[in-house]
A and B are shown apart, each in its own frame.
Chain A
Amino acid sequence: MSAREDTLARIRKNRPAGDHPLPEVPLFPPLVGDDLMAEFGERLKRMGGRIATPVAGADPFAAVRERLDGATVIASAVPEIAGNRDLAEVARPQDLADVDVAIVRAVFGVAETGSVLFTQNELRVNAVAYLAQHLVVLLDPADILVNIQAAYRRPDFARAAYAVLHTGPSATADIEGVLIHGAQGVRSLTVILLPRA
């Protein structure tokens, strides 16, 4: 018999006796207050991310303007800003190794954790969110969900080939508990609260 048939047969022979129904998962009350923007920003900062709320009429990218001005290669996946590396023209993910700043829009944010969700549709090339040195994320305040439970009731996870929650930048503390951003992925993650155009 094949490994598949062997394993399935052993499971059928060995399965624990008794009736073990799948429990209903209740909707838990959110752990956050009503001001989802503030709650989201506070959690994101605790996870090493940065938050910016643009002033109406001013440069929406003011918080990262210095970073953008200092960047040689900017890969933008959003209409709000033009980069100089067209993600539609990238043949191989490896070609994004020199990206200084990548700018993408999140599907939604999660107030409980300060997370943002991307799928392959927002990233265009998935690897850009990890190969870039810095990541700038646009998030519509109207797209902030209360908690993780609400996030997993969204249809995006069942539809996307790739979906990922980012909560702050790449981090490690594998050496003596010393926190370091940019272990392998992005060194910083800044969320700009900017309504969809």
Chain B
Amino acid sequence: MSIEDQGLRETAPESDHGQDGRRLRHAEAATKPVAVKPSAAKAAREPQPRGAKIRGDRPIDQAEAAERFLAAPLHQKAHDARLWDLRGKRDVAAFGIPEWEELRELASQIKTHTLANLDRYLEEFEANAKANGVHVHWAADGADHNRIVHGILKDHGAKTLIKSKSMLTEECGFRHYMAGTGIEVIETDLGERIQQLDNEEPSHVVVPAVHKTRFDVAEVFARTMGTDPENDDAHYLAESQRMHTRPLILEADAGMTGCNFAIAETGTVVTCTNEGNADLSGNVPKLQIHSIGIEKLIPRIEHLGVFIRLLSRSALGSPITQYTSHFRGPRAGSEMHMVLVDNGRSERLGMEEFWTSLKCIRCGACMNTCPVYRRSGGLSYGATYSGPIGLIIDPTFNKRKYSTLPFSSTMNGSCTNVCPVKINIHEQIFAWRKVLAEEHQIPLLKQGMMKAAGQVLSRPAAYRAAIGAADSALKVLPRFAVYNPLNTWGKGREMPETPRQSFHSWYKQNRMGKTTSKTTDGEK
């Protein structure tokens, strides 16, 4: 059945503009089109650069993968512009709330309190979930999680599972595990589905296929769903996916979601999504499973009044996601399971310098603001978590494999400044460098790697072109970072104090008027 037969053309792109005629920018939408011109793309026929080469436990060569990303200017430019646009939207949303800094401080303190009492809150959550009629499971690690979920599915004779995007299940390698079981897993988030069909990991925690152009998507869909390979219209591609996936959703034996927040006092799992696919996963099949990282706990419902206000504004610049869903108990005639996953989290809690990374709410703001991430793509990190937050989480999973990642940073501190739960990300990056060096996890190729990374960052032409004339302090950040790269590499020095003010005002105070290109003493 061709797509035309299904009357797709009647779905006019009325989503571009709202009822009042103004251009819409909600969800992950770009404020202005960042699309590559068809003529340029067709002429270049630029293939999508692939991610880091994975060779067992050997250290990831992020710089090598980044070089290949930089060598694909259409992809690199679109990626950079798209994420910088999200960062800009985030700033507008954040500055629109007078109590923004107070909310960040509250969120940070609530997380600190919860993590310091996590045993108690997990027990409370478990007791309430059980009282709600939910089956609660505990998984020690990723393999345990996969076995448990597989067991639940087997017990119900499930043959297909629809799921919404979950970084936790990525971390557990759930899809790879399930590939050998005869049970089909169908991702229902558009970006995640694109990545699944292309047999590639998500490159970003919020926008999984942000490194792909629409030409790449058209190629993937033509190959896997039989769409018209010449039609690269985003509306056509998204609609094709809807038509293709919907029967799979209707026929699925089980549904699965991740979890943004788990509420101890009620045993509720909260998901924040834009597409409605988490709610389809949780409300259509008779069996529903929610996978929960144990660090997702927060004490009470009222605390959502802090976190929901921060999450989507930080991630996308929207006041809230299209759907904020609260799953507390099973529907009549259905069964509900929750899997609490540790996978190294309880161990990380004891790492004095690094435990606060458990506060992360996976908004992706640190990724969007990071000049290295924007210019190298999430897949270059060769890990589930990329960008600044990845640099400080990944080594806790595998010190050797991810030993080089903490060096993929300019240490500009912007990640710390945008973090909605005030994780001192750049300080932890620096601390990891010390730990890894002391433990001799940095291999001999360290020097060579840092040199390569320096080369990546010392090629500012594409960057300047992408951000254009920088006329605001915020826009100057990447210029500063790019002009100032080599001195941040490998030099031990004083780190900036944890900022108590916004980056904007910090910048004005410390950097405005100085010749950034000649700065030689780093940030401070």
Point out residues on A near B: beta carbons under 8 Å.
2-4, 6-8, 10-16, 18, 20-23, 25-26, 28, 31, 43, 45-51, 93-94, 97, 112-115, 120, 126-127, 129-131, 148-149, 151-153, 157-158, 160-187
Contact = CB atoms under 8 A, between A and B. Distances in A.
Given A113-B320, A163-B325, 10 more contacts: A7-B294, A7-B340, A14-B350, A22-B109, A25-B302, A28-B102, A43-B319, A48-B26, A115-B324, A170-B276
Q: Lowest 7 CB-CB distances: which A-B pairs, in order?
A: A185-B276, A14-B350, A177-B30, A174-B191, A161-B329, A10-B346, A178-B234
Kindly name the residue among B212, B235, B265, B340 whose own CB sees the greatest number of chain A CB atoms within 10 A: B235
B26 A184 contact: no
B238 A172 contact: yes
A184 B245 contact: yes
A163 B279 contact: no
Nearest to B321: A167
21 contacts: A7-B140, A11-B118, A48-B26, A48-B27, A130-B283, A152-B301, A157-B304, A158-B301, A164-B279, A167-B322, A170-B323, A172-B28, A173-B28, A176-B33, A176-B82, A177-B33, A178-B35, A182-B239, A183-B238, A183-B276, A187-B11
Interface of B: 11, 13-16, 18-20, 22, 24-30, 33-35, 78, 82, 85, 96-97, 99, 102, 106, 109-110, 112-113, 115-119, 122-123, 132, 138-140, 144, 188-191, 194, 207-210, 212-214, 217, 234-235, 237-239, 242, 245-246, 249-251, 265-266, 268, 274-277, 279-280, 282-284, 294, 299, 301-306, 308-309, 318-331, 340, 342, 346-347, 349-350, 355
Contacts of A162: 282-283, 325-329, 331
Contact of B242 (A20, A176, A184): A184
A93 B56 CA distance: 45
Contacts of B144: 3
Contacts of B15: 48, 171, 179-182
Nearest to A52: B19
Nearest to A133: B11
Contacts of B346: 7, 10-11, 14
A183 B242 contact: yes
A153 B265 CA distance: 13
A149 B309 CA distance: 8
A93 B123 CA distance: 33
